[in-house]
Structures are given as structure tokens and as C-alpha cells.
Amino acid sequence: MAGVYCESVGLLRSNSVLAAVALGSNLGDRRGFLNAAVAGLREVPGTTVEAVSTFIETAPVGDVSQGPFLNGAAVLRTSCSARELLEALHAIERAQGRSRVIERRWGPRTLDLDLLTHGDLVSTEPELTIPHPRLHERRFVLEPLAEIAPGLMVPGRGVVRELLAALGPG
């Protein structure tokens, strides 16, 4: 992928980790944007897309009037650091017309890619919070993730299938 360089790709493959990414879109050709995101993930150096969930339609979150989202999840095996992978996700978003600078928080967007987990990393840096701070509260993230990685451990939170069950009936 042009403009994305993962310095850590030169490390031994045994240093790769599983990472989970949430995908969402509620503007324009939502399915097209999500498919373009998956294609972009396949181009990230040192990264293999292990699984992609079914895309599901969900209601938007927040107080902004907007159309429904199409949401999904992907599990990757990557040699990129969490910061490098996050930068790659933002580059993929920009390639699909997203501008995090001008958009309203929780507003409509062409593409939203959230880094949910990166191995067993826990980070509370302002620009790199992993696991995603609201992952365990969001059915629209947990349902697609449970489809492809029900046993995935979310550091400090638990196993995906149990987190989804804790939300109760949908």
C-alpha cells in the first residue's frame, strides 16, 4: 500500500500478532467502502487477513441524525506494531474519502476502521488506546467479531463470545 511502511516487518515472523479491526460505513456505497477497506488491509506490508465477518446493518450511535451503518470485523496476522497498523488504517480511511479533521464525532462517514486489539497489548496513550475502550459495550462490534473469532481474548476485558453474551439478548 502506497505511503504505508511497517518498520517492524523486518522482524522474525514469529513476532507477528493477531489483531482485530472493526469496519463501518454509513455514507454512499457502504458495501463498496467496506470491501475497499478489506482490499486495503490485504495490502498492508507484513499483514495477512485471516478472516472477515459478514457485514451487518446497525443503527448509528450518538446524537447525530444519520443513516444506518454497515458494520463488520476483520482478524489480521501482522508484523506491524500497533502504531504502524493504526497509521495504515487511517491511510485506508483517507483513500476512501474520510477526513477525521473535518468530521463530527460519531457523525456519518464513508469508512471507519477501529483497531480493537493488537495481540495482548494494552495501551492508554491518547492516540493509541488498545483494546478499544468501548469494544465490550458495542454489539455492532462484538457480533461480527464473534462470528470470526469467538475465542479471541480482549486484554483486560475477557473473551469475545462472553463479552457478547454479557450484553444480553439483542
Question: Long-range contacts of range 136-139, CB-CB < 8 Å, 24 or more positions apart?
Answer: 136/163, 136/166, 137/167, 138/61, 139/58, 139/164, 139/167, 139/170
pLDDT computed for residue 169 by the predictor: 87
Tell me the CATH number at 47.
3.30.70.560
Q: Where residue 7 falls among pLDDT bands split at 50, 70, 90?
A: low
User: Per the domain annotation, does 156 fall within a domain?
Assistant: yes
Q: Which amino acid is at 108?
A: P
User: Per the domain annotation, does 45 fall within a domain?
Assistant: yes
pLDDT computed for residue 2 by the predictor: 42
What is the distance between the alpha carbons of residues 76 and 66, in angstroms, rounded to a whole number?
30
3-state secondary structure of 5: coil
Per-residue pLDDT reduced to its tens digit, 41-99: 999 999 999 999 999 999 887 767 778 999 999 999 999 999 999 999 999 998 888 66
User: Per the domain annotation, does 159 fall within a domain?
Assistant: yes
Active site residues: 98, 109, 112, 114
Structural domains counted in the chain: 1
User: Per the domain annotation, does 115 fall within a domain?
Assistant: yes
User: Per the domain annotation, does 83 fall within a domain?
Assistant: yes
Q: Are 167 and 142 in contact (CB under 8 A)?
A: yes
pLDDT computed for residue 67 by the predictor: 84
User: Per the domain annotation, does 42 fall within a domain?
Assistant: yes
Q: Where residue 12 falls among pLDDT bands split at 50, 70, 90?
A: very low
- Which of these, 140, 133, 148, lies nearest to 170 by C-alpha position? 140
Domain limits for position 127: 7-166
3-state secondary structure of 64: coil
**Percent residues over pLDDT 70 in the chain:** 85
Q: Which three cell numbers stand for residue 42?
A: 490485504
What is the distance between the alpha carbons of residues 65 and 62, in angstroms, rounded to a whole number?
8
Q: Which amino acid is at 116?
A: L
Q: Where residue 3 falls among pLDDT bands split at 50, 70, 90?
A: very low
Of the listed ranges 7-21, 34-48, 67-81, 156-170, the least confidently predicted one is: 7-21
Per-residue pLDDT reduced to its tens digit, 99-130: 666 565 656 788 999 999 999 999 999 889 99
